[in-house]
Chains A and B, each alone.
Chain A
C-alpha cells in the first residue's frame, strides 16, 4: 500500500493534479457538491478523494503490523472473529432482583453470551433503597441492590463459572465486586475462575457521567485497591473499564472521547505504579469502553487509533514489556444519545450502522441499544431486536470472516492517523496542565464537553446537521407506535420491605463490628477489598458500607460548568 518508489509516486501526483484541474471542475460546473466543505463530527475536514498520497508516510510494519501484534492497529487477536465472535453483552437491569434475574435468563436463552448489570441510581450512588434520596428512584433505571441478599436473588440459577459479568458500577465498585466474590464462594466457584468487569472508572465520573460519591483522590485510591486485589486474586477479572462512552454521551466529539479516555488510562497506570505494582502485572487486564456514534468511518478510525495509541503509550511512556500489557481490549456500546423519540423504529437502522462500525473497528464485546430507549427502559421485544442486530451481522453479513477488512483503505488509514494525531495533541495539553486532577479542578474536560454538546445541538437546530425524523422527514405521530416498559411503583415497597427484614434478621453485632473495622482501616494504606468482602458477607448493606467511607473521605461537591 505504500508507494515507496518515487517514480510511481510522482506519476500518481501528476495524474491526480490533472484530475483536479480537468475532470473535477468540468463535472462540478454541472453538478455542484452538496456542501462547500465536508467535516466529520470531530471537525476533521473530509476530502473529496483519498489516494495513496494520503498514506504515503504510513509504514506497514510500524503503524499497522499484524493482528495480535504490536501496535495492534488491526486487532488484538491474530484471527479476530474467525475464531470467536465478539461477546454479545446486553446491559440490562430494572426493578427488583427477581425481575432482572428473569431478564438475564431470557437473554441467555436468546443467545446472549455475557451478562451486564444495570444498577438503579440509589445503588450507583451508594444509598440503600430506603434512604430519603432514593424515593421514587428504586428499580427505575436499573436493578436495586442494597445487600448481598439482593445479589443472591439476582444470580439465582446462574452459575458464575459459566458466564462472565460486567457491572456498570463506579463509586461502590468495591462493594459490588465483593458481593460477586461472595456469590462465587457460595456457589463454590474458585476465585481464579470468576470472570467479568467492574467499570470502576472514577475519573470520568467527575467530568462526564457525574455519579461521584467521594472526591477524586480517595476515589482513585479505591480504584487502585481493586486493581491490586484483582492482580493478586482474580486473574480473570477486568478491574477497570476505562470509559469513553460517558464522555461521548455527555456531548464530546470522537477525538475528545479518545483523548480523555486514554488520559484517564494514563492516570490509573500511574496510580497503580505509585502503589508499587509492576506494569506488566496489572496492565494486561485493563479494559476499555467506547461509544459508537453515527459517523461510520470516524468511529472505525477512532477504534483503530485508540488501539495504536494505547500500545505506544504503554510501550514508550510506561515501558511495558509484555505485548499483552500493550493491547487494548474494548467493549463498545452504540450511542444512546443518537436515538430519537420520534419515529423510534428508525433507531434500529442507526444501531445497525453503529454496530457495524464497532465490529469493523475490532471490538471484543458489544451492546446494541434498543430502539425504544429515547422513551423508556427497553421492553423485552426491543432488547431482542437489538440482540438480533448483532446476530445478523455475525452470521449473515460476512463481515467477521476476515480481519480488519477496512485496513488499507486510503480514507480509513488517513483518518486513523488524524484521530491519533489530534488525540496526542490533547494528551500533551493535559500533561502540560499538570495532569488529570488539575484538569478536572480547572473544569477543562467539563468545558470542552459542554462546548461540543452545545455546538452539536445548534447544528441540529439550524439544520446544518440533518437528523432524520427530527429536523427533516418529519411525520405527524399521534401515538407512540411501540409498547413501552413500565416500572411498577410496587417495586420500591417490595425492595424496602426486604431490606428492612434483612436489617432485623441478620447478626447485627457482627455487622456493626465489621463496619467499625472498615472505618479504622479506611484512612490507612492497606487494601480495603478483603474487609469489604467480609462486610458484605456479614450482610452489611451497601448504604452502610458507603456511609463509613463517606465519613472518612468526605463527599464530592460538583464543579458546575455550563
Chain B
C-alpha cells in the first residue's frame, strides 16, 4: 500500500513580510516528498484556520517575525480547537524569544524553530511526528 503523502500548510500570520524562511521551509518540505501549501503573507487567524480545514492538512507551520506571536498564536489554536482540528500538528518558526517558548508549547505548539535551524531538522521533525500519529 502506498503511503499517503503528508500535507502541510505553511502560513504567515501577522503583518510582517519576512517570507524568506517560510518559503525555504515550504520548499524543503516539498523536496522531502510532502504536499505543501503556502498561504502568502498577512493571513488572519480566521483565514489560516479556514485553510487548514479546507485543505485537510496534517501539519500547520506558522512563521512570524513581527513579535505578535503571543497575540496571534493563541487565537489560531483556539479557533482550531473550536473546529475540532486538534489532531493537526502545529509547529512554528521566526523570531520568538526564549521566554515565550514554554507558554506557546503549553498551548499546543509542538515545536518552535529559531533562526539558524537546518531545514533537515524541520523535515525530520514533521516526518517523525506525523508518522507517530498515523
Interface residues, chain A, with chain B CB atoms under 8 Å away: 121-122, 124-125, 127, 133-137, 140-141, 209-211, 249-251, 337, 339-342, 374-377, 450, 453-454, 457-458, 460-461, 467, 470-471, 479-480, 484, 486-487, 558, 560, 562
**Among A209, A337, A376, A484, contact of B17 (Cβ-Cβ < 8 Å):** A209
The smallest beta-carbon distance between A206 and chain B, in angstroms, is: 11
Whole-angstrom distance between the Cβ of B34 and the nearest chain A Cβ: 13
Given A461-B120, A471-B118, A480-B98, also A337-B15 (CB < 8 A): no
| Residue B125 at the chain A interface, CB threshold 8 Å | no
Residue-wise, chain B 97-114 has the 8 Å CB interface mask toward A (1 for contact) of 110000000000000001
Residues of A within 8 A of B66 (CB): 121, 137, 140-141
Shortest Cβ distance from residue A284 to the other chain B in the assembled complex, whole angstroms: 31
Cβ of B29 to closest chain A Cβ, rounded Å: 10
| Residues in A neighbouring B51, C-beta threshold 8 A | none
**SS class of chain B's interface: helix, strand, loop or mixed?**
loop
A457 touching B72, Cβ below 8 Å = no
Q: Is there an interface contact between A137 and B27, defined as CB atoms closer than 8 Å?
A: no
- Of residues 49 through 90 on chain B, the ones whose CB sits less than 8 Å from some CB of chain A are 66-68, 70-72
Partner of B15, one of A125, A339, A341, A375: A125
B14 near A121 with CB under 8 A, answer: yes
B118→A136 contact, CB < 8 A: no
B119 and A458 contacting across the interface, CB-CB below 8 Å = yes
B121's nearest neighbour on chain A, judged by CB, is: A461
The reply to whether the CB of B33 lies closer than 8 angstroms to some CB of chain A is no
Chain B contacts with A in 5-57, Cβ cutoff 8 A: 14-17, 19-20, 23-24, 26-28, 30, 36, 38, 40-42, 44
* Residue of A135, A340, A342, A562 touching B23 (CB-CB under 8 A): A562
Given the complex, which residues of B lie within 8 Å of A211, measured CB to CB? 17
The interface residues of chain B lying within 8 Å CB-to-CB of A124 are 15
Cα distance A480–B100 when bound, in Å? 13
The 29 listed contacts between A and B (C-beta, < 8 Å) are A121-B14, A121-B16, A122-B15, A124-B15, A134-B15, A135-B71, A136-B14, A136-B68, A137-B15, A137-B68, A140-B67, A141-B66, A209-B17, A210-B19, A250-B20, A339-B115, A340-B115, A341-B115, A374-B115, A453-B23, A461-B118, A461-B120, A470-B116, A479-B98, A480-B97, A558-B40, A558-B41, A560-B40, A562-B38
A133 touching B98, Cβ below 8 Å: no
Q: In the complex, A457→B14 CA distance in Å?
A: 24
Chain A residues with CB under 8 Å of B36's CB are 562
Give 14 new A-B contacts, CB below 8 A, not counting A250-B19, A470-B116: A121-B66, A122-B15, A136-B70, A137-B14, A137-B68, A210-B17, A341-B115, A374-B116, A453-B20, A461-B118, A471-B118, A480-B97, A560-B38, A560-B40
- State whether A487 touches B67 (Cβ < 8 A): yes
Knowing A136-B72, A375-B95, say if A337 contacts B119 (CB, 8 Å). Answer: no
Question: How far is B26's CA from A479's CA once the two chains are assembled, in angstroms?
Answer: 29
Q: Specify which chain B residues have a CB less than 8 angstroms from the CB of A562 in the assembled complex.
A: 23, 26-27, 30, 36, 38
Determine the residue in chain A with the shortest Cβ distance to B14.
Answer: A137
The 9 closest A-B pairs by CB, nearest first: A136-B71, A121-B15, A136-B68, A140-B67, A210-B17, A341-B115, A470-B116, A461-B118, A560-B40
By a CB distance below 8 angstroms, the chain A residues around B120 are 461
Residues of B within 8 A of A209 (CB): 17
Q: Are A375 and B97 in contact (CB under 8 A)?
A: yes
In the complex, what distance in Å separates the CA atom of A479 from the CA atom of B38? 33
When C-beta atoms are compared, the residue in chain A nearest to B116 turns out to be A470
**Given A135-B71, A141-B16, A560-B40, A460 and B118 touching (CB < 8 A)?**
yes
Nearest chain A residue, comparing its CB with the CB of B36: A562
Minimum CB–CB distance from B17 to chain A (whole Å) comes to: 4
Which residues of the partner chain B approach A458 to less than 8 Å between Cβ atoms? 119
